Amino acid sequence: MQKHNQKEHLYKLLVIGDLGVGKTSIIKRYVHQNFSPHYRATIGVDFALKVLNWDAETVVRLQLWDIAGQERFGNMTRVYYREAMGAFIVFDVTRPATFEAVTKWKEDLDSKLVLPNGKPVPAVLLANKCDQGIDVLMNNGIKMDQFCKENGFVGWFETSAKENININEASRCLVKHIIASESDPVQSIEPDIIKPHLNSSKIVSCSSCFKS
Amino acid sequence: KDLADALEEGGCDLETVRNIIQGRRLPADLRAKVWKIALNVVGKGDSLTSWDGSLDLPEQSIIHKDCQELIDQLWVPEEEKSVLILDIESVITFYCKSRNIKYSSCLGWIHLLRPLVHLHLPRSDLYNCFYAIMNKFIPRDCFMKGRPFHLFRLLLQYHEPELCSFLDTKKMTPDSYALNWLGSLFSYYCSAEVTQAIWDGYLQQADPFFIYFLMLIILVNAKDVILAQESDKEEMIKFLETSPANLDLEDIEDLFSLAQYYCSKTPASFRKDNHSLFGSSLLGLKDDETDLSQALCLAVSVSEILQANQQQGEGVRFFVVDCRPAEQYNAGHLSTAFHLDSDLMLQNPSEFAQSVKSLLEAQKQSIESGSIAGGEHLCFMGSGREEEDMYMNMVLAHFLQKNKEYVSIAKGGFMALQQHLADINVEGPENGYGHWIASTSGSRNSINSVDGDSPNGSGDAKGVKSLVNKMTVALKTKSVNVKEKVISFIENTSTPVDR
C-alpha cells in the first residue's frame, strides 16, 4: 500500500437525459456490475458511489447522481446540478426523439452550471442501448464527432448497460477531462456574473377558464 | 318509514336525514328530496326566470344533439321527450351563458345530468341541482394535466407507492384514465342504478374530496390485475378507465366503507391545503403557490403534525424524521423527532443504511409503546430552505423508491414549525406547546446526548456525530392534563430506556 503519497479526488457527476434512456441501468452496471431488464422510473434523484484507482498515486471517488428524466421533477432537480464536475448525457439509440432532446439537456446543464473557472462542465454523450441493433444514426461516426464539437461535448460513446459495452471507457474519458480541466490554470472568473438565460419554459395554465 | 315522514314534514337538514338513513339504501321515491337537501337547493328560486330563454349559442347545435342523445338513452314516453329535451338544453345553455363558458361535449355535463334527469325534477330544480354539483363536487381544472389529477397521483403514492411507481413508469397518468371518473362522478361508466347508489352515498357525505377515495379504491381493487399485466399502454388505460363499469349495486357498500378507511389514513392536510379545488370562491384563483405536478410527495402542515399526535385513538399519527444537518438539529428540534442526517446518504452509504434501519426500528418500538412520537406515517422535515433541503429530498426519494407507504413532507420545514409555534404562543406559554421544541445543546429539557458506537472506532468526529441518532420520546400519560414527560433515548440498536 502506497497510502502515504496517495491523492484522493472526489467528483460529483450528473447522469441526465430523457425518460427511459437507461441512466439508472448505466449506473447500476458501472457500480454494481449488474443489469435488470425491468424498467422502473426513478423518483426524484438517486445516488451511487464508485471508487476508481486512477493511477499509482490517485484514487478517484465518483458520486454519480441519477436524475429522474421525468418532466415532473424538472424544477426540483435543478438544485442537484450544483457543484457537479462533469456530466453524462444519455440518449436511447432506438428512439430518435431522445437524441433530439440531447441539445436541450446540454443547454439546460450549461445554463445552470459552470466550473469555477467559468468554463462549462465537461460532458460526455452516451448513445445507449447500442446492443439493440436498431442504430438510427450510429453508422455515421463523423456526423457524431461533428455533433459533439458543435454542442461542446468532450466525447461520445456507444454504450450498452445490458452488455456492458463502453461504460468504463466513457467514464475514464470524462474523468480524464475533469482532471485536465482542474489543472487548467485559467484565471478564475468572478462567479457572480449573471448569465442571461431564457425563462420561457413555464406554462401558466389559466385557472379562470373553466370555472371562476 | 321514518324518512318519508321526516321529509314530508319538511325543514329537515342533511344531518337529520343522514341520521335516519344510517347508510341504508335510499328508496327511489325519496331520492329527489334527499339529494335536494344534500345539495342545499331546497326552496331555492328559479334562476332561469331572469333569462329570455333563447337558445342561440354558437355551439347550440352540439348542445341540442347531446341532449337528444341523452334522452334517447332513457326510456321516456314519446310525448314527454320534447319537453325534457328543452329542459336539459335550457339548463346547459343558461349555465354556459351565465358563467360565460363555451360548451363542448368533452366537458361531460351530459353524464352529470343523466342521474338528475332520472329524478324527474322541474326545470328550476334541475338547474339548481346541476349548478350545485358543478359548484361543489366538480373540482376546477378538471381536464387533462389538471391540478386535481396531480393531487390524485400524490394520494395514490401515499397509499400505494408500488402501484403509483408502476403507473408512472408506464407513463399512465391519472388524467389518462380518471378524467371521466372525476368529471362525471362515475356516471360515465356506471349503470344508472349504480351511479344513483354512489351519488346517494357521496352527496350525503357532503365532502367533495371523498370522490378521491372512491377513485383510490377502484385503483386498489384493480391493482393485482394491473401489476400482472403485460399488455400495452393503450390497452391498460382502457382497462383501468372502464373498470368502474364492473361495479355492482352490491359492491357500493364495501366501496364506501373501504373509502372511509383510506380516508381515515390520510392526513387532514390533503383536504385543507387543497380546499380551493372545489367551490366558487375567488380564493382559488390565487392559490398557485404550490405546483402539485412538481411535488415529490404529499405535504402535511406543521399544525397538523403538532395536533395529530395529541389526539387519542384513531386518526393519522406521524413519526417525524428530521433531516437537517446535526448542528441545526442540536440547536433545536421537535421533541418527538427522529434525526436522520441526510448528508450521510452521500458521505457514507453503509452508515446511512444502518441509520435507516434504526429509524424503522425506532418507529416500530414507539408505535408499540404507544408513545406520542409514534406513528405509521413518516413525515420528513427539512429546514424549509430549498437549497439545504435537497439532501432531504434525496432521502425522501430513497424511501419512496423502496415503496414505503405513508410518506409525507412537513410543509415549510422547521422554519414553518418555528413560525407556527411563535404564532400560537402569543396566548402565553401555558397552552402546552412550550415543550415541543427540544434543544440538545441547551439544558431546557434536560436532554443528554448519547453517543453511538462508531463501527470504525476512530472515524472522524463528524462521522461519529452524525451517526448518533438521538430521539426523545415524550410519552403520554393516561390523563390528558398531566403534562409530565418521560424522555427516553433510542440510539441505533438499543431499546428505549425510561427515565
Assign residue A64 the CATH number of its domain.
Answer: 3.40.50.300
Q: What is the DSSP string of B223-279?
A: HHHHHH--S-HHHHHHHHHHGGGG--TTHHHHHHHHHHHHHHTS-THHHHTTGGGSS
In a domain, A204, yes or no: no
pLDDT at B116 over 80: yes
Query: Nearest chain B Cα to A75, which residue?
Result: B294
Give the number of other CB atoms < 10 A from CB of residue A75: 14
B132 and B174 in a single domain? The answer is no
Number of domains in chain A: 1
Looking up residue B377, the CATH number of its domain turns out to be 3.40.250.10
- CB pair distance less than 8 Å for A211 and B140: yes
- Cell numbers at residue B142, please? 378538471
Q: How confident is the model at residue B483 (pLDDT cuts 50, 70, 90)?
A: very low
Cα–Cα dist A34/A18, whole Å: 22
Contacts of A47 in chain B (CB under 8 A): 345-346, 394
Which has the higher per-residue pLDDT, A78 or A8?
A8
- CB pair distance less than 8 Å for A79 and B284: no
Q: Say what the pLDDT of residue B281 is.
A: 55
Average pLDDT rounded to a whole number, residues A6-10? 88
Cα–Cα dist B332/B126, whole Å: 58
Residue at a domain's end among B373, B406, B433: B433
Q: Say what the pLDDT of residue B253 is.
A: 92
Q: What is the DSSP string of B403-464?
A: T-SSEEEETTHHHHHHHHHHHHGGG-GGGTTTTSEE-SSSSTT-PPP-PPPPTTSS--HHHH
Q: How confident is the model at residue B232 (pLDDT cuts 50, 70, 90)?
A: confident
In a domain, A188, yes or no: no
DSSP A66: E
Please indicate if any CB of chain A lies within 8 Å of the CB of B294.
yes
Contacts of B145 in chain A (CB under 8 A): 205
Residue type present at position A196:
P
The per-residue pLDDT for range B343-376, each reduced to its tens digit, is 888 888 889 999 999 999 999 998 888 887 788 8
Mutation target to probe the A interface, by most A beta carbons within 10 A, among B293, B348, B385, B392 is: B293
By mean pLDDT, which of A59-73, A132-146, B106-120, B453-467 is the weakest? B453-467
- DSSP bridge partners of B409: B299, B380
Q: Say what the pLDDT of residue A105 is.
A: 92
Range of B312's domain?
296-433
Average pLDDT rounded to a whole number, residues B296-302? 92
pLDDT at A4 over 90: no
Residue B257 backbone zone (phi > 0: left; psi -120 to 50: alpha; other: beta): alpha
The Cα of B114 is separated from the nearest Cα of chain A by a number of Å equal to: 21
Contacts of A63 in chain B (CB under 8 A): 346
In a domain, A206, yes or no: no
- CB pair distance less than 8 Å for B165 and A40: yes
Number of domains in chain B: 3
Residues A58, A7: contact at Cβ < 8 Å?
Answer: yes
Cα–Cα dist B376/B360, whole Å: 10
pLDDT at B488 over 50: no
Q: Say what the pLDDT of residue B243 is.
A: 94
pLDDT at B148 over 60: yes
Q: What is the pTM of this model?
A: 0.82
Give the number of other CB atoms < 10 A from CB of residue B234: 10
Q: How confident is the model at residue A139 (pLDDT cuts 50, 70, 90)?
A: low
- CB pair distance less than 8 Å for B141 and A212: no
Q: Which of B383, B344, B345, B362 is nearest to B464 (CA)?
A: B344
B175 and B270 in a single domain? The answer is yes
The per-residue pLDDT for range B317-348, each reduced to its tens digit, is 899 999 999 999 988 888 889 999 988 888 88
Comparing CB atoms, the residue among A43, A49, A63 nearest residue B401 is A43
Residue at a domain's end among B410, B433, B456: B433
Q: Which of B403, B402, B405, B380 is nearest to B393 (CA)?
A: B380
B307 and B414 in a single domain? The answer is yes
Looking up residue B171, the CATH number of its domain turns out to be 1.10.472.80
Cα–Cα dist A212/A79, whole Å: 35
- CB pair distance less than 8 Å for A212 and B349: no
Query: Nearest chain A Cα to B103, which residue?
Result: A210
Contacts of B294 in chain A (CB under 8 A): 72-76
The Cα of A10 is separated from the nearest Cα of chain B by a number of Å equal to: 11
pLDDT at B430 over 60: no
By mean pLDDT, which of A185-194, B279-288, B482-491 is the weakest? B482-491
pLDDT at A194 over 60: no
In a domain, A65, yes or no: yes
Q: b/e string for B91-122 if b means 16 or more Cβ within 10 A?
A: bbbbbbeeeebebeeebbbbbbbbbbbbbebe
Please indicate if any CB of chain A lies within 8 Å of the CB of B144.
no
Cα–Cα dist A172/A102, whole Å: 21
Residues A34, A24: contact at Cβ < 8 Å?
Answer: no
The per-residue pLDDT for range B190-200, each reduced to its tens digit, is 999 999 999 99
Please indicate if any CB of chain A lies within 8 Å of the CB of B228.
no
Residue at a domain's end among B89, B106, B136: B136
pLDDT at B100 over 80: yes
Q: How confident is the model at residue A189 (pLDDT cuts 50, 70, 90)?
A: very low
B residues 397-426 near A, CB within 8 Å? 397-398, 400-401
pLDDT at B103 over 60: yes
Q: How confident is the model at residue A73 (pLDDT cuts 50, 70, 90)?
A: low
Which has the higher per-residue pLDDT, A95 or B12?
A95
pLDDT at B229 over 90: no
Cα–Cα dist A60/A162, whole Å: 25
Using DSSP, how many helices (H) and how many strands (E) does chain A show? 6, 6
- CB pair distance less than 8 Å for B394 and A44: yes
**Rounded percentage of chain B residues whose pLDDT exceeds 70:** 82
Which has the higher per-residue pLDDT, B373 or A107?
A107
Looking up residue B43, the CATH number of its domain turns out to be 1.10.8.1310
pLDDT at B497 over 50: no
Q: Say what the pLDDT of residue B161 is.
A: 94
Average pLDDT rounded to a whole number, residues B276-283? 69
Residues B414, B328: contact at Cβ < 8 Å?
Answer: yes
Q: Say what the pLDDT of residue A152 is.
A: 94
Range of A65's domain?
7-183
pLDDT at A190 over 60: no
Comparing CB atoms, the residue among A40, A46, A207 nearest residue B397 is A46
DSSP B66: H
